[in-house]
Structure formats: C-alpha cells, structure tokens
Amino acid sequence: MEIYSIDEAFLDLTGVYPCQSDPIAYGQRIKQAVFRATGIPVCVGMGPTKTLAKLANFAAKKWPKTHGVLDVSDQLRREKLMRIVPVNEVWGIGPQQLIF
C-alpha cells in the first residue's frame, strides 16, 4: 500500500486482481472492510494507472449508481468515462494545461 495523503492510498493488486472473478465485488469488500475498521465511508476506484484509478474514484464518489466502486480496467469503460468527466477533474491537469 502506498499512502498518498491523509485520506487516500493506492493498492497494487497485481497478482491478486486477476484471481478475482468480479473486481467490483472485490472493491465492495475493500470498501466494507475499511468502513468496519474505521467507521469512515470510502469509495474505491480501480484502473491500470494511478491517474485512471483516481479518475474512477472521482466517478465512484460522484455517481450513485456505482455504489462507491468503479473499475476502469476495461478500455471501453475507460473511454466512456473520459468522454463524460471534465478534463479539469483529471489528476495533474491544472489551469495552465486547460488553456491548450
């Protein structure tokens, strides 16, 4: 686990992830375990890169139909997400990049 900030962390699921037949269910179990241990509700975003995982987490927080968990490992799901999320919500994109 890589602690990113006081309320964010990255987990590398290499080796674990392919063993899970349902990544969303796995994300729900992570979410529930964190809540049981801390009492803090969290959302889970999964993706092949940290940037995509953070984008998935943004969407998991924003859109109730995700139930707080979103996996964008699939290329088509990733493309759909990138079409509907404003570019300024992408991690690392600041005001200067928006000019272009």
pLDDT by position in tens, the chain (length 100): 888 888 888 888 877 755 667 889 999 999 999 999 999 999 999 999 998 999 999 999 999 999 999 999 999 999 998 888 777 776 666 565 555 5
8 is an active site residue: yes
Q: Are 61 and 70 in contact, with CB atoms under 8 Å apart?
A: no
Q: Any idea which residue has 């809540």 for tokens?
A: 35
Domain span including residue 10: 2-98
pTM of the predicted protein model? 0.80
pLDDT of residue 100: 57
What pLDDT score does 62 carry?
92
Catalytic residue among 2, 8, 79, 89: 8
pLDDT of residue 85: 78
- Contact (CB, 8 A) for 1 and 10: yes
**Which residues have a Cβ under 8 Å from the Cβ of 69 and sit 6 or more positions away?**
24, 27, 28, 31, 43, 44, 45, 46, 60
Report how many domains make up the chain. 1
Q: At a CB cut-off of 8 Å and minimum separation 6, what does 21 contact? A: none
